[in-house]
Structure 1
Amino acid sequence: MAYLQPSDYTNYGLPATTTADWITAATALINSYCRRPDLNVIQYTERLRVTAGSQTVHLSYLPLASLAPATLPLVSIQGRYARPRRGEMVDTPMLELASAFSLPGQWVTLDPTTVDFDPNTGELTLPWNLLGLPYNEVSVTYTAGLSTIGDDVLSACAQIVRNAQAQPALNSKSSKLDTMQMQYFSSSLIDETVQAWLRPYIANRLG
C-alpha cells in the first residue's frame, strides 16, 4: 500500500495533481532501501544463531509490534539444543542424562510468554530449560512494523517524489513512471535527509 494518500499530498509539499505512480514507485523504493517488504506491521520468520555462552539473539525487523490488541509480537519460537563441541567434556549429571537421551541437536517449542524482549532493539533473552542445556539456534515467527505510518516516512516518501521530479530523465510526461526507473536513480533520490528519516527502519541484516 502506498504510504502517501491523495489527501496527504499538499500537506507534504506535493501538488494535488501528483499521480499515483509517483507515490507507488517511491513507496517501493523505500521498502527496497529498508530491506523489507513493507513498513506496516506484518509477520516475519527468522532462523538465528545463538552465540555460545549467550542467551540472547537480535531480530532483524523493528520495531516489534502486534497485529491485534492484547497479543504478543512473538508468535512462535523454537530452539535447538546445542551439541557439545569436539573435545568438550560432558561433565555434569544433567548433560550426561541429556546426551544419553540424544537431546542435543533436537528442536523444542518455547513458550513466547517466557521470552523477554525489547520491542525497540529486537533483543530476545531466551529462558533456561529444565536441563540447563543451552540453545545454539532459534527459529522465531514474529510481527514487526509501524502500526501508524509516521511523519518521518511520509516526509521521506514526498521527498523522494520531489527528487525524482527534479530528474530530467524521470520527469517525462509521455511515459508512466515505474519502480525500475526509480531504482536506477536511487542513489540520488534517497538523499541524506531521506536516509536520516528511514534509518530506524532499515533491517539489521540482509536476507
Structure 2
Amino acid sequence: MAYLQPEEYPDYGLPASTSADWISAATALINSYCRRPDLNIIEYTERLRITCDVQAVRLTYLPLAALGVATSPIISIQARYARPRRGEVSNELLFDAAWAFSLPGQWTSIDAGSVDLDAKTGELTLPTNLFGLPFNEIAVAYSAGLAQVGDDIKCACAQIVRNAQSTPALNAKASKIDTMQMQYFSSSLLDDTVKQWLRPYVATRVG
C-alpha cells in the first residue's frame, strides 16, 4: 500500500494533481532501501542459527507487532536439536543418550508463551528443554511492522517524489513511472534527509 494517499498530498508539499505512479514508485524505493517488502504489519518467517551456550536469537524485522486480532507477534516457533560441532557439548554422555533416541536433527515445536521476548530489540531467548540439550537452529513465524505509517515515512515518500521530479532524466511526461528507473537513480533520490527519516526502519540481520 502506498505511504501517501491523494488527500494527503497537499499536507506534505505535493500538488493535488500528483500522479499515483510517483507515490507507488517512491513507496517501492523506500521498501527496497529498508530491505523489507512493506513497512506495514505483515508476516515474516526466519530460520536462524543459534550460538552455542546463548540460546537466543534476534529477529530481523522490527518493530514486532501483533497482526489483526492476534495478541502476540509470535505466530509459531520450531527449534532443532542438531549434532553439535567440536567443543559445543560439555556432557558427552547426555548427548550420546539423546543421539540414541534420534533427537539431533529433529524439529520440535516450542510454546510461544515460554519464550522470553524483547519486543523492542526483537531478541528471543529460548527456554531450557527437558533433556538439557541446546538448540542450534530455530524457525520463527512472526509479524512485524507499523500499525500506522508516521509522518517521517510520509515526509520521506514526498521528498523522494520531489527529488525525482527535479531529476531531468525522470521528469519526463509519461503515463507511468518505471520503478526500476527510480531504483537506478536511488543514490540521488534518497538524500541524507530521507535516509535519516528511514534509518529506524532499515532491517539488519544480526549474526
> Does TM-score exceed 0.5, indicating one fold?
yes
Structure 2 gap segments, 5+ residues each = none
Equivalent position SS for 2:17 = coil
Equivalent position SS for 1:128 = coil
In structure 1, what is the equivalent of residue 64 of structure 2? 64
Q: Which amino acid aligns with 1:41?
A: I
Residues 74 and 140 of structure 1 are in contact (CA less than 8 Å); yes or no, is this contact kept in structure 2? yes
Cα offset, 1:169, TM superposition: 1.0
Equivalent position SS for 2:136 = strand
Q: Distance in 1 between matches of 2:91 and 2:24?
A: 60
Residues 89 and 95 of structure 2 are in contact (CA less than 8 Å); yes or no, is this contact kept in structure 1? no
Structure 1 gap segments, 5+ residues each = none
Residues 117 and 124 of structure 2 are in contact (CA less than 8 Å); yes or no, is this contact kept in structure 1? yes
| Shift in CA distance, 88/190, structure 1 to aligned 2, threshold 3 Å | closer
Equivalent position SS for 1:54 = coil
Correspondence 1:82 to 2:82: yes
What is the percent sequence identity of the aligned residues? 67
In structure 1, what is the equivalent of residue 151 of structure 2? 151
In structure 1, what is the equivalent of residue 110 of structure 2? 110
Q: Deviation string for 1:157-196 (max 9, x for gaps)? A: 0010011111011111245212011111000000111111
TM-score, normalized by length of structure 2?
0.93
| Shift in CA distance, 8/93, structure 1 to aligned 2, threshold 3 Å | same
Where do 1:91-110 residues align within 5 Å?
91=91, 94-110=94-110
Q: Distance in 1 between matches of 2:90 and 2:51?
A: 19
TM-score, normalized by length of structure 1?
0.93
Equivalent position SS for 1:129 = coil
Q: Which amino acid aligns with 1:106?
A: Q
Q: Distance in 1 between matches of 2:61 and 2:162?
A: 28
Q: Distance in 2 between matches of 1:91 and 1:43?
A: 38
In structure 1, what is the equivalent of residue 163 of structure 2? 163
Correspondence 1:23 to 2:20: no
| Shift in CA distance, 63/88, structure 1 to aligned 2, threshold 3 Å | closer
In structure 2, what is the equivalent of residue 46 of structure 1? 46
In structure 1, what is the equivalent of residue 34 of structure 2? 34
Equivalent position SS for 1:135 = coil
Q: CA RMSD in A?
A: 1.8
Residues 81 and 137 of structure 2 are in contact (CA less than 8 Å); yes or no, is this contact kept in structure 1? yes
| Shift in CA distance, 37/89, structure 1 to aligned 2, threshold 3 Å | closer
Residues 82 and 133 of structure 1 are in contact (CA less than 8 Å); yes or no, is this contact kept in structure 2? no
